[in-house]
Structure 1
Amino acid sequence: VQEKLKINKISLDIIDETNEAYVSCHPSMLSQGILNLINNSCDAILALDTKWIKLHITREADGVVKLAVIDSGLGITENKLDKLFTPFFTTKQNIGGTGLGLSLTKKIVENCGGTLQYIKESKNTCFVMTLLEVTTNSAASSHAKSIYFNNENYDELAEKLFNNKKILMIEDEIELAEMYAVRFSEWGAEVKCVAEFDEALTYIMDLSNSIDLVITDICIINGTGIDLLRELKVLRPRLPAVVMTGSVAPNLELLFDLGAANVLEKPFVFEKLVIASLNALLPSQYKWKRSVPRAHYKNKILIEFNNKNYNVSIDNIGLGGMFIATEGEDFKVGDEISFDFNVEVEANRFVKITGRAVIRWIRFKQKEQLPPGIGVEFSFISKKSRRAILNIVNSKKSSTYIPISA
């Protein structure tokens, strides 16, 4: 961004009226959000005679800090305001742009418990971040280094699984990749960031390079993430990969068939990347596969998909997923469902298990004695629910093997 400001002779003034303020947000994530707004301003005012950007920080009486990014532009036209924060909507037709900057920045700020607003009453183009102020730097840092998702804290698991792990990240947005690398390094991971297909392939082919996880975008310089997955399947078939994509309708079935452990559709908050990476790195005994031991288990389950509810039945279950007996016409591989069901843990005492799962395979019709249904892998499930499922599996050890033909 500094280089862009210098080359295009754009002035940047920082006006901090707080003297010193701490907010509840991770520094690198907040920096990325601010950089996104400044970068957008740069692109918007390139053709103007007067080119300036101001970063104005104020403390409000209600315990919040406001950070405004204002530029010399005259605002955004009324007909574009409704779609301003919509993913893939861009006003940069002449200079390119993914349309992810504002929507991603909004997610970053909301993930910090704040808001991002466009101030249409302003004489110049103005976006304002509103963030909760905390009293000390240590309080801000403590919250910043924690990873929360659906009110679950994943710090302990992240420290165990990421410590000393070697991650290869292929992302053509270098600043974004470096921001992710900083976050992963806080749990002890070593991250190698590359932007080009050829560089990534050379690194993978050199077997002296230890790699535990690959994180790749679909769009990379001089190639695609799909090409990389094909090479990975041959060169390092056991290496887990997480795929990031900005495609409106990615071919999920192809990506999973090529070995992707998880696919994340942009824009997403960093926490989703962490959860996807944790799932990819989990030891094999915690993963669900069609051929590994799990429990025969019959129970009613409510699943929600596309705003419709389905009252169906679980046929078997494991720590990583389950088979749900249902007609499969409404579903396709890669769809994500929400679910809940009750498990009796003691006489007349029930635990409600809720979560989300991704459909990995579908049996559309009866096959011998096997019912039609969907095989799903948990994408999110609470620790409490996971413990309850573990108890189910442990209590039915005599009948846990489901053959690969299932």
Structure 2
Amino acid sequence: MNPCCCSATPSASGSQAPQREPPYRKFIGALAAAVYTCDRHGRITSYNAAAATLWGREPEPGTDRWCGSWRIYEPDGRPIPLAESPMAELLQTGRTTAGRELVIERPDGRRFQVLTHPQLIYDEFGAVLGAVNLLVDITAHRAAEARLQDSERLYQSLVANLPQNIFRKDTAGRFTFANARLCVTLGRPLPELLGRTDADFFPPEQAAQFRADDLRVMATGEPYAAEETIQDAQGRTRQVQVNKTALRDAAGLVCGVQGVFLDITEKKLLERQFLRAQRMESLGTLACGVAHDLNNILAPILMAVPLLRMDLPPADFASLMDIMESSVQRGAGIVRQLLAFGRGTEGGHTALQPRHLLREIHNIASETFPKNIALSAHVPADLWALMGDATQIQQVLMNLLVNARDAMPLGGRLITQAENLEVDADYAKLHIDARPGRYVRLKVTDTGSGIPKEIQERIFEPFFTTKPPGQGTGLGLSTTLGIVQSHGGFIHLYSEPGIGTTFSIYLPAAPDSAADEPPAGPAPLVRGAGETILVVDDEVGFIEAATHTLSLNGYSLLSARDGGEALAVFARHRDAIKVVLTDVQMPVMDGVTLVRVLKKIAPQLQVIASSGLEYSPQADELRALGVAHFLSKPYPVAQLLTRLHEVLHTPGEAAPATGAQPVFNQ
């Protein structure tokens, strides 16, 4: 390579004297930047290796001009005439434009973005000999910048348009970033969000909980995930899935928290509808058993009624009455249990005692399963409580019991068990979804046909079933798995073909769980003191039974067959009537309309609503009208008398909030 930045001085004979090699020649030759020199006419006199690489060939000193066969452009693509290039301008005018960015194009079409730094070269007398130029290739740098800008635009576009709500907060809990979706959810433009905290947008108790979650994430560095309930800008209650992680600076120190939450309200609604449909499927499989058992219940009643018309000894009469009462209570219990299971009340996870759930499901199975299946239950009295959804756990147990029943068409044994269990780290390693901790293990064991090894891995797949068409949808076990996992639990299956199957459900125990208090004994009957009660029902048998019952227990009775007749009776006996006991669903005028009219006439009038449906669709309307007391048919005399006593001795009692789940007390 020719030496850089050296001048040639003519000798006395006209020839050029030998050039002296500058001491920095090697340094310039090793530079990654392109360096070349040219004379006053722009002809190249020297260059380094990087310059040759930039040109794409070895230039010919003394012949090739500084620009070679390049084309030159501004960064925005506008062409620059060679006569106006930085080097030409420097040689012509002496003005330098160091650091100017250019795009050069070689004959082979390749383009490079460079920063040019031309300077004049003077001889020892100050005369211009030529120029030196340093070209820094910034092509890769500019390409990286463009990719970074594209990436940033993509990131901003994605974050701005994602359906999730995305945010960042500093260590004081102040919002430092919020995407467009979060601004819509909270009903505030971005400038009104930045610098403010959760306390500015959420109720104090909820904001305090959010802050506690943030502090825990920043203190531990562990991610946080949970389902929460918030109110959006329109005041609507929304269920959201929240995920938070610690935010760190360049040094790795925690400088805040970042998170995302997704509105899952519609998803939860669909899940509830799906679970309800799956419960209906389970009830459908019980229909034959229910019909059989109700027929058995009705048989002694039908046989006893003709005998009651005979002149029987008191002891025989009392015995028949006991048989009839026992049959009615048994039938009412079956209907009530099936209604409760079919209706369901999916909601948040609360502390519950699984012993009660096991007893209820065991009772349903005992009443509806074939009699050639022997059922037994083993549940300890000190069973730990759970944090869960009672309806969903009932559904898990029912699905497993129905599957066990179907596996034993010729009969067998069906055993339900429960126990407290401490899962340690070694045990947790055996189950992919398990974590160490306290669990309640629920086991359902049958002595049926068993599950072949080759399909055990598939039984939890949606729509997978081994039953004939029309006898199953294949959703039972997939629903069971989903419910158990949503409770933070896991399932273990053990089955041997020809011997039987055991499903073990592991559900996390509630913190500080303890055994329930034993139920109190029955309360004594409470009699009336001559108060007048108006009974409104379209069933004549009910009116007659209520009239006899209440009259024998110290009350005066008036009755009506529908709402219109009840208004007429009330108009005649307004001052005497203390309580109205009305059915909800009646012809002509239903219970809701009757109560609405009565409350306009007598706002302080006490009303007890009664319905054959444990959860009546009209319950919310009645609560809004001030009805605080409900009874679910059929109900025992003691419950009716107790409720009347409560109503008469707590005048003006306010109804529960309309947002509460309507419950017909049992």
Q: TM-score, normalised by structure 1?
A: 0.37
* Greater Rg by CA: 2
More helix by share: 2
Q: TM-score, normalised by structure 2?
A: 0.24
More strand by share: 1
